[in-house]
Amino acid sequence: MSTITANPAALSKKQILTALYAAAVAFLTYASVYAYRKPFTVATFEGISFWGIKYQTLLIISQGLGYMFSKFYGIKFIAELKRAGRWKTSGVLVGVSWLSLLIFAVLPAPWGMICMFVNGFMLGFMWGIVFSYVEGRRATDFIGAAMAVSFIFAGGFTRSVALWLRDSWQVPEQWLAFTTGLVFAVPLILFIYLLERVPAPDADDVAERTVRLPMTKEQRLRFLRMFGAGTIMIIITYVFLTIMRDIRDNFMANLWNELGYGQKPSIFTKTETITSIVILAMISLLVGIRKNIRAFRLAHIMVLVGFILAGISSALFLAGIMGGAMWMQLVGLGLYMGYIPFNCIFFERLIAAFRIAGNVGFLIYLVDAYGYMGSMLVMLSKEIFQINLTWTQFYPAGVVIFSVIGSAGCIYSLLYFNRKYKLLKPVQ
């Protein structure tokens, strides 16, 4: 563990400009990456099913399985990632994922499942690569939040682009994913180039947030031995968040169709943009909190409030007290209040508070691996066990149950790490 003493000085003008630049570029880069991942979900492939399961669901599960396996491998790959040559790695990963969408467009069903598995596996590494450019800075909370809300905004925006291509250009369903990727190809190349030009963390950043280095297997095991029980509880909490968030994200088109908004493509962008702005504003407030353990505690509170908001709004919707559009807005806001901190602040402040010389990527991929495993199991169970509920019945009921469990896990994690901090008394 590092014992460097943090410098409490305020951010300089240069550091502020660097943070704004990094936030904008990280946001745009990952938003463009999303164009290769989510737009295919607007294609419902009505009337096509195999083994008693809808083809759309099989494709989503296939991509999700690929994404899940990339997260398990990414625990090692991202933790040991070297800084040199990241742009080449990104180009190969996105290029192969896009090629898989081209093959998907020409292969008959159900062989497209293989293409979506490859697509998910390749794209699963991109979050860790992009985040490696921005972690370990005094402004990482803000930069990471901007990057994290990109997938809220991009999830809606890229789907709107796909629907526009379908409705205005009559692009067939099987070509929507590849064509949407084509629209974003040149912007993504530009943004990766700009990402390479983000300056490295300076001395003040290192003093306050610790040096960020690749982590060997022994270093990863040492962390788990030191924080084992807390890490397990974080994983459990994150699993329930991922399940709720991932189902909403993958089956958003189905949910809006059932709620009567299927012919309004702008609804995707409108609701997700509002959520993005609110989440970014909330997380940005944590940038001013210099004491890492305090910010880490507040991140727990934000996650807890998100669980409660998602659970209550879903209960009200099931009771017929809240309308569908308002429920979708509030349940999305609540879930992302929990999900976004894990992807930008939570582990960033954990490493900084306990003065660990390592990287955030290891922890994000550790919890992500189990999170996506849980998401896949829930989606498969709905199909395998023939749960005869619509998405607007199945999903809010699941949110209510998981919110209760997730809230309990969050409270345990908060108490655990508070106790650890008092025992270890890391030098700040």
C-alpha closest to that of 147 among 133, 162, 160: 133
What are the tens digits of pLDDT across the range 272-295? 788 878 888 888 787 778 899 999
pLDDT exceeds cutoff 80 at 262: no
Determine the pLDDT at residue 251: 78
Mean residue pLDDT across the chain: 88
> Which range (42-56, 185-199, 275-289) has the least confidence?
275-289
Q: Report, as an integer, the average pLDDT of 102-109.
A: 95
pLDDT recorded at residue 33: 96
Residue 1 lies in a domain: no
Confidence at 264, pLDDT banded by 50, 70, 90: low
Write out the DSSP string of 290-348: --HHHHHHHHHHHHHHHHHHHHHHHHHHHTTSS-HHHHHHHHHHHHHHHHHHHHHTHHH
44: domain CATH number is: 1.20.1250.20
Does 212 reside within a domain? yes
**What is the pLDDT, as a whole number, of residue 183?**
96
CA angle 123, 247, 399 (to 5 degrees): 140
Q: Show the domain range for 244.
A: 13-424
Q: Is 103 among the domain residues?
A: yes
Looking at residues 4-14, what average pLDDT do you find? 61
Residue 237 clears pLDDT 80, i.e. is over it? yes
Q: Is 7 contained in some domain?
A: no
pLDDT at position 266 is 67
Q: Does 226 have pLDDT greater than 70? A: yes
How many folded domains does the chain comprise? Answer: 1
pLDDT(370) > 70: yes
Tell me the percentage of the chain whose pLDDT exceeds 70: 94
* Domain presence at residue 29: yes
Distance CA 285, CA 267 (A): 28
Q: What is the per-residue pLDDT for 10?
A: 72
Answer for the pair 341, 302: CB distance below 8 angstroms, yes or no: yes
Q: Examine residue 417 and state whether it is found in any structural domain, yes or no.
A: yes
Q: Is residue 247 in some structural domain?
A: yes
Average pLDDT over residues 223-229: 93
Out of 84-93, 228-237, 243-252, pick the least confident: 243-252
pLDDT tens per residue, range 140-175: 988 988 888 787 788 788 988 998 999 899 999 999
Is the predicted pLDDT of residue 3 greater than 80, yes or no?
no
pLDDT of amino acid 1: 41
Q: pLDDT confidence of 263, banded at 50, 70, 90?
A: low
User: 49 φ, ψ to 5°?
Assistant: -150, 155
Tell me what the mean pLDDT of segment 204-231 comes to.
Answer: 91
Task: Answer whether residue 6 is part of any domain.
Answer: no
Q: What is the dihedral of CA 372, 377, 383, 384, to 10 degrees?
A: 150
The CA distance from 160 to 406, in Å, is 31
Amino acid 84: pLDDT: 84
